[in-house]
Amino acid sequence: MLEIILGIAGVWILFTGKVPNWIIGKKDFEITDMKARLIGFILVLPFPLSFVMGIILALLFGQDGIGYAFFAEMAIFIIVLIIVMVLIRKFRVPVVKTVNQPTAD
């Protein structure tokens, strides 16, 4: 379930090329272009990784593989969140606010 939420956010970031402020946490910063798409791609990764890992563990360990897959899924989720938080802190840039100055005519 959590991977699906990350996947939806990741696909949104991949298509728009901009990380929304509710993910960054502050309105004074932005992440755009390739850096945003990298974060979006990383957010999409947990769903297919967990799916493939679950199949592999079920094939290797049988019924016990399902329990291992749950813990592996949580580990992937936590690792991806840590990586994304570090990248957001590294890639964010302050938004430059322009002030409209009246012209003296």
Q: What is the pLDDT of residues 47-99, one digit of tens each?
A: 899 889 988 988 998 888 888 888 888 999 999 999 999 999 999 888 887 77
Q: How far apart are CA 37 and CA 72, in angstroms?
A: 25
Whether the predicted pLDDT of 103 surpasses 80? no
Q: SS3 for 95?
A: coil
| Chain-centroid distance, C-alpha 96 | 24
pLDDT value, residue 38: 94
Specify the amino acid at residue 86.
Answer: V
Regarding pTM above 0.85, the answer is: no
Residue type, position 60, single letter: L
Count Cβ atoms below 10 Å from residue 46 Cβ, excluding itself.
Answer: 24
